[in-house]
Structure 1
Amino acid sequence: MPRLPGLDLLRSFAIVWVMLFHSFLVGGLGPGFEWLSRFGWAGVDVFFVLSGFLIGSQLLRGLQRGEPLRLQDFYWRRAWRILPAFAVVLALYLAFPVLREAPGLEAGWQFASFTFNLFVDYGRNQAFSHAWSLCVEEHFYLFFPLLAWAFTRRPSAARFVALCVLLVLGGVALRAGVWLHNDALQPPRNWFIEDIYYPTWMRLDGLLAGVMLAALRVYRPGLWVKLQARSTLLILAGLALAALAFWLFRDRTGLMANAVGWPLLSMGFGGLVLAATAPQGWLGRRAVPGASWLAAVSYSLYLSHKLAMHAVHTWIAPVLPWHGLALFPVYAATVLAVGAALHYLVEKPGLRLRERLSPRPPASALAAARGA
Structure 2
Amino acid sequence: MSAQARGAQLPGLDLLRAIAVLWTMQFHGFIVGGLGPNWRWLERYGWMGVDLFFVLSGFLIGGQLLRPLAKGVAPSLRDFYLKRVFRILPAFWAVLAVYLLWPGFREAPGMEPWWKFALFFVNLDINYAANAAFSHAWSLCVEEHFYLLFPALALLLARKPSAIKFWVVCLVVLLGGIALRTGVWLHDDATQPQRPWFVEDIYYPTWNRLDGLLSGVMLAAWQAYRPAAWARAAQHANRFALAGIAVLALAMWLFRDRVGLLGNSIGWPVLSLALALLVFAGAQTHGILGSRKLPGVAWIATISYSLYLVHKPVYALVQAHWGALLEGRGVLAWAAYGAVSLLAAALLHYMVERPGLRLRGRFL
TM bin (shorter chain): over 0.9
* 1:60 to 2:49 alignment: no
SS in 2 for 1:130: helix
CA distance in 1, matches of 2:44, 2:28: 10
- Asked if the contact 2:110–2:133 (Cα under 8 Å) also holds between the matched residues in 1, the reply is yes
Which residue pairs with 2:97 in the alignment?
91
Q: What amino acid is the match of 1:115?
A: F
Aligned residues: 357
Which residue pairs with 1:266 in the alignment?
272
Which residue pairs with 1:166 in the alignment?
172
Alignment of 1:67-86 (within 5 A): 67-86=73-92
CA distance in 2, matches of 1:22, 1:209: 25
**1:27 Cα deviation after fit:** 1.4
Q: What amino acid is the match of 1:222?
A: A
Unaligned runs of at least 5 residues, structure 1: 361-372
SS in 1 for 2:256: coil
CA distance in 1, matches of 2:289, 2:322: 38
**1:316 Cα deviation after fit:** 3.1
- 1:160-217 CA distance string (max 9 Å, x none): 0111112111110110011001111111111100000000000000000000000000
**1:324 Cα deviation after fit:** 2.7
CA distance in 1, matches of 2:248, 2:140: 23
Which residue pairs with 1:364 in the alignment?
none
Which residue pairs with 1:189 in the alignment?
195
CA distance in 2, matches of 1:231, 1:321: 42
Which piece of structure 1 moves more, 29-38 or 138-147?
29-38
**1:72 Cα deviation after fit:** 1.8
CA distance in 2, matches of 1:282, 1:311: 38
CA distance in 1, matches of 2:198, 2:101: 30
> Residues 206 and 275 from structure 1, CA distance in 2 versus in 1: closer, same or farther, beyond 3 angstroms?
same
Q: What amino acid is the match of 1:292?
A: A
CA distance in 2, matches of 1:242, 1:346: 35
Q: What amino acid is the match of 1:151?
A: L
**1:321 Cα deviation after fit:** 7.2
- Asked if the contact 2:35–2:333 (Cα under 8 Å) also holds between the matched residues in 1, the reply is no
**1:251 counterpart (252, 257, 275):** 257
**2:35 counterpart (20, 29, 38):** 29
Which piece of structure 1 moves more, 116-125 or 276-285?
276-285
Which residue pairs with 1:144 in the alignment?
150
Which residue pairs with 2:348 in the alignment?
342
CA distance in 1, matches of 2:327, 2:261: 42
Which residue pairs with 2:311 in the alignment?
305
CA distance in 2, matches of 1:332, 1:174: 37
CA distance in 1, matches of 2:254, 2:237: 26
Which piece of structure 1 moves more, 68-77 or 7-16?
68-77
**1:328 Cα deviation after fit:** 2.3
Alignment of 1:150-299 (within 5 A): 150-299=156-305
Which residue pairs with 1:41 in the alignment?
47
CA distance in 1, matches of 2:38, 2:353: 37
- Asked if the contact 2:326–2:333 (Cα under 8 Å) also holds between the matched residues in 1, the reply is no
CA distance in 1, matches of 2:151, 2:182: 29
Identity among equivalent pairs (%): 57
**1:69 Cα deviation after fit:** 3.2
Q: TM-score w.r.t. structure 1 length?
A: 0.94
CA distance in 1, matches of 2:338, 2:219: 34
CA distance in 2, matches of 1:144, 1:70: 14
**1:248 Cα deviation after fit:** 1.0
CA distance in 1, matches of 2:78, 2:309: 26
* 1:111 to 2:121 alignment: no
Which residue pairs with 1:132 in the alignment?
138
- Asked if the contact 2:181–2:202 (Cα under 8 Å) also holds between the matched residues in 1, the reply is yes
Larger radius of gyration: 1
- Asked if the contact 2:36–2:328 (Cα under 8 Å) also holds between the matched residues in 1, the reply is no
Task: Note the aligned Cα RMSD (angstroms).
Answer: 1.2
CA distance in 1, matches of 2:250, 2:108: 34
Q: What amino acid is the match of 1:188?
A: Q
CA distance in 1, matches of 2:279, 2:358: 29
SS in 2 for 1:250: coil
Q: What amino acid is the match of 1:239?
A: I
Q: What amino acid is the match of 2:87?
A: R
Q: TM-score w.r.t. structure 2 length?
A: 0.96
- 1:13-46 CA distance string (max 9 Å, x none): 1100000110111111112221121100000000
Which piece of structure 1 moves more, 338-347 or 161-170?
161-170
